[in-house]
Amino acid sequence: FGGYKETQETAMCGVCARYPCSCGILAAVIGTFCIFSASCATSIYIRLTPLYTTISCEHASTGVENLHIGIPLISPTTLDLIIQMNCSNPNPYSIGFEWTRLGGVYLGAGRTKVGDTSAVPGKVSYFPADGFGSIWVRANTTISAMMLARLAGDLIQSKGQLPLRLELRQRLSVDVMLLGSMGPKVSQPFVKECGMMISDLGL
């Protein structure tokens, strides 16, 4: 093996001796490639450090659609709440949300289920990298006399204000921009609860 290695080295030296310009160009190309790779690695490290910064959100609006007022003790009141949350994403990657199945709408400290959550037609829940985006949620809600009776204790203790919790069952997709082009895309199931206080149940 030692003789074979020496033969290789001798052959390489012979080639470089006969074609010094070619060996110089090859060395320059290899050196440039190494410098470029190190620069790319450093850029990616700086770009993705820290890997995650907290996303801050605030309630933007709540609208009511498909309101059907029921008859007390006979039929329930149904409505769709259209909720928009505005969020600031300081991370170097975009985040998208796609509904996978219905979530739940829960009211009161005892988490009485009053409806389901789903996507809002025509609205996209998306956070661009280093930018601002929105989450849209449709909460299909039913308010009946029986449900209000179950919530009577919470209504008395909370002076008419009740926590409303929205369960989001979505698939979260993360797109990483690296060196000005699309990088890897990662997606996984995502379950989260958002909440707010409501004070008017006089429907």
pLDDT band at 199 (very low <50, low <70, confident <90, very high): low
- Angstrom distances, CA of residue 22 to CA of 12, 30, 75, 117: 12, 12, 88, 67
Mapped onto helix, strand or coil, the DSSP state of residue 189 is: strand
Nearest to 66 by CA among 11, 121, 18: 121
Q: What are the structure tokens assigned to 16, written together?
A: 């470089």
- Contact between residue 134 and residue 97 where contact means Cβ atoms under 8 Å apart: no
- Rounded to two decimals, the pTM is 0.65
pLDDT in tens, 6-25: 444 444 455 455 555 555 66
Give the other-Cβ count within 10 Å of 98's Cβ. Answer: 14
Integer Cα distance of 84 and 110 in angstroms:
25
- Residues contacting 186, CB < 8 A, separation 6+: 173, 174, 176
Residue 47 identity = R
pLDDT of residue 34: 57
pLDDT in tens, 33-48: 555 455 444 444 445 5
pLDDT of residue 4: 43
